Chain A
Amino acid sequence: MTTRLVGAPLTRREDARVLRGETRYVDDIVIPGAAQAAFVRSPHASAAIQSIAVPEPSEADGLLAVITGRELAGLRSFPVMEPRGAHVAAGEAHPVLPVDEVRYAGQPVAAVIARTRALAEDAAELVEVEYEARPAVLSPRASDLTLMRWSQRTGDVDAAFAAAAHVVTGRYALPRLVAAPMEARGAIARYDADADGLTVWCSAQDIHRSRAQLSHILGRDEGTIHLIVPDVGGAFGSKGVVAPEVAAIAAAAIRLGVPVRWTEDRLENLVGAYQGRGIEGDVALALAADGRMLALRARLWADLGGYLLTTTPIPPHTAATLITGVYDIPAADVEVTGARTHKVPTGPYRGAGRPDAAYMIERLVDRAARELDLDRIELRRRNLIRRFPHRTPTGLEYDSGDYERCLDLALELAGPDQPSRPLGADVARGTGFAMYVERAGGGFESARIQLRPGGRFLIDSSSSPHGQGHDITFAQIAAERLQTAPGAIELRFGDSASAPGGVGTFGSRSVAQAGSAVARAADAMVGEGARLAAHLLGLEAGAVRLTPAGFLGDGAALSWAEIADSAAAPDGHPPGGAPGPLQASARFESANVFSSGVHAAEVDIDPETGQLSVRRLVAVDDAGTLINPLLAHGQVIGGVVQALGECLVEEAVYDDDGQMRSGSFLDYSLLTAAEIPPIITGEVETPTPLNPLGAKGAGEGGAVGALPAVANAVTDALGGRHVEPPYTADKLWRALHGADDRPAVPEERR
């Protein structure tokens, strides 16, 4: 008899704290005597810094210090990741504060440390920076400076294209987006000179990467940095790299000997936090007469901004490697160029390259169906990957999946296909389908479990949550294996003083990696418990087994509470066993696992105004075994709505001078509850063989599939004309009426 907790839609335990207003986000943490930072920011997209004149510290004005790049000359720039096989210009890493030039409007130039934030903002206005403006490069194709490049060529692509019955090409682009978590970024840094210890409370996705980045930048051993991630108000990829401002206040706290706090405000977040997407590409597909895909060519350009932050090279690499999608395409020639532009750097934002790839391939496949006069579903069916593991021509190995089942379920949930209504009717209606596969999981995480009095367990996880619900999910995983109630299990996260080693919360990997580590640690604890129970019962270790009532052996039973009591007793352990509470730990590492799904959309466009209304969305996702369907559903819906925002309103707009024109929530719109259509979800569970849970990842799928589904529906409604998101009324109206110098070109004629 076992207790099935995996698969149970349990509610979260941290909610009560939130609902009572008892959470502690970083700005809620009171540190006596902490000073506040504000930043002087570049008004230019590109300029030389000629001089900086700063006000003197003043007790009367509450001004403690103004710190510029010159004072921080001893610090290193950001560490930069190098995706496998990629060339990365590490010399172009983002400095904490610049010395002689600025490369984006909004770049922090000087840190102003004062008694209050208002005083710091007052003093920041007194800092005089003399700039010599330079021309700004804003388009990645126009840039002659490459920050990252990756390419791969597999199979005889040229021959395939030469022999193909059909060649279909498309040019696609996604704008830059702002992650815009409701809590912007922020940190507090406190330095203890006697112990040479730096404590940083940081609104971050995890402790590990934040600490490693600060260690690199500050040139200080990781062991001297105590990193605490308190409650975090959302991240969506944008808090996986510490802000340059956080490194600056850490340096300031060390120099000044006072704790320093930086609470990013919304203006700073919109202009200064790294953004997502910003990618464009030319993609071509060679097809046989029967619609079989023979080869794919893709040339992508990513708008990486002025510098490389740690993870800036990752999303374009992910986009390039996933560009063949769910299709069995034997040959591919793919190249991605990450170009320097005079904008804030880009980095991961929910999906982080996955929606980019799905958007391009799924738009192209729809276009191919139109040009070949084949049913769009049938064309997909003919080319689906059906055998796993599958090696893609871009070098990925898909572990598992059942793409056709996802497709069938999506078709069933979407209902009978309604023919799109002709233009000129009172509404232009379209439907669209899109399939995706996403790289999830991968890398290592770990967990440590302790048996405590009363048969309770404390688990330290290397991962940490910012809304996903790690706590109950991991408790379910452990409780099922320990044959106890989730209530007996307490999880602890986010403190480098207690957390075991790991990487972090990103890339739809927490359940697959950190959850598997919890599972393995719980299994090890069961082994420890069995060993002790056998000893106490005078049996062989193999003669006891765990049940909900405890360890049973030879008619006797020992509960976890009794095991805990015995373990605490001086003679409770078998000879040679270490005295004290039972402990176990585990490290889990695996290759990437690949979630997948099929999304569908039905849209209407008002031909008179161009207003798009998404009538209905269907999201079928296969994230492997679901541990907690309630929370997994929440991830899907949240992701779908972010994608919907990307389709309808979201875009970081820059003017010709490189000034960000979306510097408030009045300009950078987010969707409200009143704009959300009905979303119908369906789950397919194809377990991965790569981890003990069978779980993949659910964090990003919603944001990956909905974008191309809506894009295909919009194109359908426009009778095949292609328009890039966001699908504003202005763009769609012009596409329908062909009314200006930006006409949408019907796909057939491109």
Chain B
Amino acid sequence: MVINGRTYDDEVEDRTLLSDFIRHQAGLTGTHVGCEHGVCGACTVQLDGEPVRSCLMLAVQADGRSLRTVEGLAGPDGELSVLQRAFTEHHALQCGFCTAGFLMTADALLRRRETGSISEAEIREELAGNLCRCTGYEGIVAAVRTAAQSPRH
């Protein structure tokens, strides 16, 4: 499979979860595992551009597919995206464990939509698939709102 533009070629057990492949075989540990039953959203990655739970897919199902993880969000020169920078400005992360999942969910939302077209209620609804135990979501919602209003999201 291709992750963040790079091809990963490895043998997997039939039962290997995509989340475990990404973390332990591809070595991309920025994607975290929080519940392994599809509720918390920490393991969210983009499959062909759309957010999916990597704990609810088998690695073998992603054979030949294109994935994007948190490691693929910064620009080619390493510059943080508008969304990533907004997360820092709004103190949208504390322990950071859920952050990658939120970024992948929010990034897909921003890519789908035009600047300035997303309401706060919509942001909250879209983010409702990701759990955060630290921030109370305030900073996260504010960061996504800021990024959604930025012309360069």
Kindly state whether residue A676 has any CB partner on chain B within 8 Å: yes
The 0/1 profile, CB within 8 Å of A marked 1, for residues 129-141 of chain B is 1111111111111
Contact B32 A25 (CB under 8 A): yes
| A679 CB contacts on chain B under 8 angstroms | 136, 138
Kindly state whether residue A290 has any CB partner on chain B within 8 Å: no
Kindly state whether residue A630 has any CB partner on chain B within 8 Å: yes
| A670 CB contacts on chain B under 8 angstroms | 131, 133
Q: Which residue of A lies closest to B69 (CB)?
A: A21
Within 8 A of B (CB), among A231-259: 231-234, 236
| B88 CB contacts on chain A under 8 angstroms | 11-12, 15-16, 19
The 0/1 profile, CB within 8 Å of A marked 1, for residues 24-65 of chain B is 000111111111110110100000000000000000000000
A236 to B135, CA, bound (A): 12
A642 to B125, CA, bound (A): 19
Contact A234 B133 (CB under 8 A): yes
Contact B91 A181 (CB under 8 A): no
Within 8 A of B (CB), among A90-127: 118
Contact A19 B33 (CB under 8 A): no
Q: Which residue of B lies closest to A269 (CB)?
A: B35
Contact A469 B30 (CB under 8 A): no
A236 to B136, CA, bound (A): 13
Kindly state whether residue B147 has any CB partner on chain A within 8 Å: no
Kindly state whether residue A523 has any CB partner on chain B within 8 Å: no
Kindly state whether residue B71 has any CB partner on chain A within 8 Å: yes
Kindly state whether residue A229 has any CB partner on chain B within 8 Å: no
A203 to B33, CA, bound (A): 14
Contact A665 B35 (CB under 8 A): yes
Kindly state whether residue A728 has any CB partner on chain B within 8 Å: no
Kindly state whether residue B118 has any CB partner on chain A within 8 Å: no
Kindly state whether residue A23 has any CB partner on chain B within 8 Å: yes
Shortest distance between the CB of B58 and any CB in chain A (Å) = 13
Contact A28 B23 (CB under 8 A): yes
Within 8 A of B (CB), among A625-645: 630-631, 633-634, 637-642
Bin chain B's interface residue count: 35 or more
| A633 CB contacts on chain B under 8 angstroms | 91
Contact B136 A637 (CB under 8 A): yes
| B94 CB contacts on chain A under 8 angstroms | 234, 467-469, 634, 638
Kindly state whether residue A460 has any CB partner on chain B within 8 Å: no
Q: A19-B84, A20-B71, A233-B32 are in contact. Are A181 and B37 (CB under 8 A)?
A: no
Which of B40, B73, B141 interacts with A665 by CB under 8 Å?
Answer: B40
The 0/1 profile, CB within 8 Å of B marked 1, for residues 6-26 of chain A is 000001101110111111110
The 0/1 profile, CB within 8 Å of A marked 1, for residues 85-124 of chain B is 0011101011111111001000000000000000000011
| B2 CB contacts on chain A under 8 angstroms | none
Contact B136 A234 (CB under 8 A): no
Total A-B pairs in contact (CB under 8 Å)? 166
From B37, B95, B130, B140, residue with most partner A Cβ within 10 Å: B95
Kindly state whether residue A195 has any CB partner on chain B within 8 Å: no
A48 to B117, CA, bound (A): 62
Contact A664 B39 (CB under 8 A): yes
Contact B125 A674 (CB under 8 A): yes
| A640 CB contacts on chain B under 8 angstroms | 136
From A21, A236, A666, residue with most partner B Cβ within 10 Å: A21
A20 to B87, CA, bound (A): 12
Contact B137 A266 (CB under 8 A): no
Contact A23 B30 (CB under 8 A): yes
A11 to B103, CA, bound (A): 18
Kindly state whether residue A589 has any CB partner on chain B within 8 Å: no
| B135 CB contacts on chain A under 8 angstroms | 634, 637-638, 641
Kindly state whether residue A367 has any CB partner on chain B within 8 Å: no
Which of B33, B89, B95, B137 interacts with A467 by CB under 8 Å?
Answer: B95
Shortest distance between the CB of A10 and any CB in chain B (Å) = 10
Kindly state whether residue B70 has any CB partner on chain A within 8 Å: yes
| B73 CB contacts on chain A under 8 angstroms | 19-21
Q: Which residue of A lies closest to B127 (CB)?
A: A673
Within 8 A of B (CB), among A164-208: 180-184
Kindly state whether residue B1 has any CB partner on chain A within 8 Å: no
A466 to B23, CA, bound (A): 21
| B80 CB contacts on chain A under 8 angstroms | 16, 19-20
Shortest distance between the CB of B73 and any CB in chain A (Å) = 8
| B70 CB contacts on chain A under 8 angstroms | 19-21
| A638 CB contacts on chain B under 8 angstroms | 94, 133-136
| A631 CB contacts on chain B under 8 angstroms | 91
Q: Which residue of B lies closest to A664 (CB)?
A: B37
Q: Which residue of B lies closest to A30 (CB)?
A: B27
Which of B36, B91, B93 interacts with A630 by CB under 8 Å?
Answer: B91
From A15, A23, A666, residue with most partner B Cβ within 10 Å: A15
| B93 CB contacts on chain A under 8 angstroms | 15, 18-19, 467
Contact A182 B98 (CB under 8 A): yes
Contact B127 A467 (CB under 8 A): no
Q: Which residue of B lies closest to A668 (CB)?
A: B39
A16 to B127, CA, bound (A): 21
From A16, A633, A664, A673, residue with most partner B Cβ within 10 Å: A673
Q: Which residue of B lies closest to A350 (CB)?
A: B133
Contact A182 B40 (CB under 8 A): yes
Contact A232 B35 (CB under 8 A): no
Shortest distance between the CB of B106 and any CB in chain A (Å) = 11
Kindly state whether residue B10 has any CB partner on chain A within 8 Å: no
Q: A233-B97, A234-B97, A674-B124 are in contact. Are A182 and B131 (CB under 8 A)?
A: yes
Q: A183-B95, A674-B125 are in contact. Are A21 and B136 (CB under 8 A)?
A: no
Kindly state whether residue A265 has any CB partner on chain B within 8 Å: yes
Contact A673 B137 (CB under 8 A): yes
Q: Which residue of A lies closest to B97 (CB)?
A: A233
Q: A118-B15, A234-B97 are in contact. Are A11 and B91 (CB under 8 A)?
A: yes
Contact A12 B30 (CB under 8 A): no
Q: Which residue of B lies closest to A17 (CB)?
A: B96
Kindly state whether residue A27 has any CB partner on chain B within 8 Å: yes
Kindly state whether residue A418 has any CB partner on chain B within 8 Å: no
Shortest distance between the CB of B30 and any CB in chain A (Å) = 2
Contact B29 A183 (CB under 8 A): no
Contact B139 A634 (CB under 8 A): yes
Shortest distance between the CB of B109 and any CB in chain A (Å) = 12
| B103 CB contacts on chain A under 8 angstroms | 19
Shortest distance between the CB of A630 and any CB in chain B (Å) = 5
Kindly state whether residue B13 has any CB partner on chain A within 8 Å: yes
| B84 CB contacts on chain A under 8 angstroms | 19-20
| B31 CB contacts on chain A under 8 angstroms | 21
| A23 CB contacts on chain B under 8 angstroms | 30, 96
| A265 CB contacts on chain B under 8 angstroms | 36
| A28 CB contacts on chain B under 8 angstroms | 23, 29
Q: Which residue of A lies closest to B136 (CB)?
A: A641
| A16 CB contacts on chain B under 8 angstroms | 80, 88
From B13, B89, B131, residue with most partner A Cβ within 10 Å: B131
Shortest distance between the CB of B146 and any CB in chain A (Å) = 13
Q: What are 30 sample pairs from A and B whose C-beta atoms fall under 8 A apart? A: A11-B88, A19-B73, A19-B93, A19-B103, A21-B73, A25-B97, A27-B23, A27-B29, A28-B29, A181-B95, A181-B133, A182-B131, A182-B134, A183-B95, A232-B95, A233-B95, A234-B97, A266-B34, A266-B35, A467-B134, A638-B94, A638-B134, A641-B135, A641-B137, A664-B37, A672-B129, A672-B131, A673-B127, A673-B130, A679-B136
Cβ-closest 8 pairs across A and B: A21-B30, A233-B97, A641-B136, A467-B95, A467-B94, A18-B96, A28-B29, A665-B39
Apart from A25-B97, A233-B32, A674-B127, what 13 extra A-B contacts exist at CB < 8 Å?
A19-B70, A20-B70, A21-B29, A25-B32, A28-B23, A182-B134, A183-B97, A231-B95, A467-B134, A665-B39, A672-B129, A672-B130, A676-B136
